[in-house]
Amino acid sequence: MLEGRKKYFLIKPRTIRGQLIASLVLFELLALGLFTAFLVREQRKELQQRIDRRLEYQGLQFAEQAATALEEGKRESLQKMVSAMLRYPSIGSVQITDLQGVAIAGADVAMNGKLNLTPTERNYLRSLDKPTIFTLRKNVREIVTPVIAHGQVQALVWISPNEEADRLQLHSLLRVTLISAILATLGCTVLATLMARTVTKPLNALMRATRQIVRDPEDVSSFPLPVTSENEAADLTTAFNMMVTSIEEQRSGLNDTLALLDSMLANAPIGFAFFDRKFRFVRVNQFLANMNRSTISRHLGRAVNEVFPETAAKPLQRAIDQVFATGSPVQDLELTGEMEEQPGRVRSWLANIYPVQTGTNTVRWVGAVIVDTTQRRNSEEALRKTEKLAAAGRLAASIAHEINNPLEAVTNLLYLIRLQEKLPTDVEKYVELAQHELARVSEITQQTLRFYRQSTLPITANISELLDSVLTLHQGRVNTLQVRVRKFYDTDVEVFCFAGEMRQLFANLISNALDAMMPGPGTLTLSVRRSHSWRDPSIRGVRISVADTGCGMAEDVRRRIFEPFFTTKEATGTGLGLWVSAEVIQKHHGEIRIRSRVLDDEHPGRQPGTIFMIFFPLLAVDEEPAENYAARSQTV
């Protein structure tokens, strides 16, 4: 059934003209078929009636002639009568039989005296008192008429017609009818073609214009279409022209709106993204792609968990699913996660998620406005830690100040004791040792006060003296770890700087060097000498080196040491020391290079260790804020 339907659609005309002509031809063929069937039926019926009447007449006439011959005793003349009857073109066969069916006279003389009837004809031998017409076989009629002589049935006359002439007449009539129908069909087809052309001509123009718009929606040069008639096709053409004009106006407004939206998405300093129900990116702007250190093409089609860390992707997916389900926005969703390409670095985002609905109020997509808040969170955290450090510094300065007063008193008491006469030798020795150690404690408190009460203005400071003052604070750890200190100073090198910040820088470097050499022993090498800039050899200045024989740093650690809050000291580190140190170096227009080597099993004879080399130009410093120094530092 489906195959038949497919064949029907294959031969079905695809144009209005073809459909109109085909429908008209089909109707004419159907009408012609019905008319022909009715005509043939009526002609056959009329022909049959005419044949039956003729047979009845011929049967009665021949029966009377045969009865006369039998009454006169002229039985031999019956054969002549049969021969005469056969000369009529309308008679096919004639024979005379007795009541038992034995031939008396017939077309075949050899059959006279013999039974020459078919089984159908023998059924009519019983009690015949009038002419009877019957069907001998398909489309063959025959009449049997009794021959009554001397008041009794003496014989039977059997006559069958010759229908060839009637059939020829019927065929001639059908042929004339068919020719007339064909001519009528052709005339109607031509007329329908002419009529269809008036309808299809404007429709063809509409079709060509429509296909042109489909190929190039911007090309409307064929419009407005000319109106060449006053019928419904003209109304359709006018309506189509109005529709194209309206679409062109709407397209112009839509293009302006899309241009504004595209410009906003492309240039807005904020991340935009759109998701489908499977949490896949369907569109992102360049700002978000740059935020994720990727490209737009690497976002499209990927799921949220393929772009964001798992800890950030799960709450974002739950929020997207909630917006799809309820149609209500989710605001100020905070996301955090550790980036795979940067292990140990935690990033944070703030997302506002909203539905994108179609005309049926169905949520088609979900949009998200995403802001990277990593720097802000780090700054807030740094501010909190800086406040803690400042509070700790103030507390340390207060304690140092309070300790300094009794230290002065104890120092004076020891001085008075030494002035006493006749002190035992061992007591005098102990007093001298006590004065020496007390001087060291006093120096430490003075250094602590200098750190907190640093000058707000830069001064000319001797780098060697600054290094020694910081080293004094760490002398206890140096002795505990059995670290050997080597100094290579140009003692007359001075730099215009903030002395307190320089102490803080050197303190961080020396403290890290001592931590790297735990549990000891090791060698700490300090160097101060005149040199030139690595970037511009024409710039003269001072190079400070702090080297240790500690464990060294791996490559991934060296890349991140200047990031805030990054530390390898899980229990005691804050991650701010080298970050602050980088800010100090940047503030003084300095440069830094680092060399570090870890213990290598392939080269067991190579000594591990780290060296920080810092260059300061002999220029004045300023108060401008520093940029991220990690990108400018060089690790060798």
**Distance (Å, whole) CA 200 – CA 319:** 57
Cβ atoms of 41 and 220 within 8 Å: the answer is: no
Distances 565 to 62, 426, 518, 579, 635 between C-alpha atoms, Å: 139, 53, 22, 8, 19
Mean pLDDT across 214-226: 70
**Distance (Å, whole) CA 329 – CA 379:** 29
**How high is the pLDDT of residue 229?**
65
> How does residue 233 score in pLDDT terms, banded at 50, 70 and 90?
low
* pLDDT over 90 at 543, yes or no: yes
How far from the centroid of its chain's Cα atoms is residue 171's Cα?
72
**How high is the pLDDT of residue 466?**
86
Give the three-class secondary structure for 501: helix
Question: Exposed/middle/buried for 172, CB within 10 Å: 0-12, 13-18, 19+?
Answer: exposed
Q: Where in the chain is the domain with CATH 3.30.565.10?
A: 457-635
Handedness of CA 501, 506, 508, 509 (dihedral sign): positive
CATH pick for 373-453 out of 1.10.3470, 3.40.50, 2.60.40, 1.10.287: 1.10.287
Cα–Cα nearest to 490, from 459, 467, 457:
467
**How high is the pLDDT of residue 74?**
80
* pLDDT over 80 at 163, yes or no: no
Mean pLDDT across 110-120: 74
Mean pLDDT across 210-233: 69
Which H or E run contains 97?
A: strand 91-97
CB atoms within 10 A of CB 85: 19
* pLDDT over 60 at 207, yes or no: yes
* pLDDT over 60 at 491, yes or no: yes
Task: Name the residue with tokens 């529709």.
Answer: 243
- Encode pLDDT of 408-436 as tens digits: 777 777 777 777 777 787 777 777 777 77
Question: Could you say which DSSP state residue 521 is in?
Answer: -
Q: How do beta strands 494-497 and 634-635 pair?
A: unpaired
**Distance (Å, whole) CA 63 – CA 153:** 10
- Encode pLDDT of 554-581 as tens digits: 887 888 887 777 777 766 666 677 887 8
Q: Where in the chain is the domain with CATH 3.30.450.20?
A: 18-168, 268-372
Rg (CA), the chain: 62
**How high is the pLDDT of residue 619?**
61
Q: Which CATH superfamily hosts domain 268-372?
A: PAS domain (3.30.450.20)
Phi and psi dihedrals of 551, rounded to 5? -80, -15
Question: What is the DSSP annotation of 403-423?
Answer: HHHHHHHHHHHHHHHHHSSS-
Question: Could you say which DSSP state residue 624 is in?
Answer: P
Averaged pLDDT score across all residues of the chain: 77
Handedness of CA 192, 194, 198, 204 (dihedral sign): positive
**Distance (Å, whole) CA 18 – CA 38:** 30
What is the CATH class of 18-168?
A: alpha beta
Q: Select the highest-mean-pLDDT range: 7-16, 71-80, 97-106, 586-595.
A: 586-595
* pLDDT over 50 at 2, yes or no: no
* pLDDT over 90 at 629, yes or no: no
Question: What is the DSSP annotation of 515-564?
Answer: HHTTT--EEEEEEEEEEE-SS-TT-EEEEEEEEE-S----HHHHTTTTST
Q: Where in the chain is the domain with CATH 1.10.287?
A: 373-453
State which amino acid sits at residue 631.
A
**How high is the pLDDT of residue 388?**
66
Q: Which fold has domain 457-635?
A: Heat Shock Protein 90 (3.30.565)
**Distance (Å, whole) CA 74 – CA 179:** 55
Q: Select the highest-mean-pLDDT range: 18-32, 99-113, 483-497.
A: 483-497
Phi and psi dihedrals of 576, rounded to 5? -110, -15
Longest dimension (CA), the chain: 212
Looking at per-residue confidence, does 189 or 388 come out higher? Answer: 189
**How high is the pLDDT of residue 96?**
84
Mean pLDDT across 589-598: 89
Question: What is the DSSP annotation of 594-606?
Answer: EEEE--BTTBTTS
Give the three-class secondary structure for 202: helix
Looking at per-residue confidence, does 298 or 233 come out higher? Answer: 298
* pLDDT over 70 at 451, yes or no: no
Looking at per-residue confidence, does 553 or 162 come out higher? Answer: 553
Buried/exposed code over 424-451 (b: 16+ C-beta within 10 A; e: otherwise) = eeeeeeebeebeeebeeebebbebbbbb
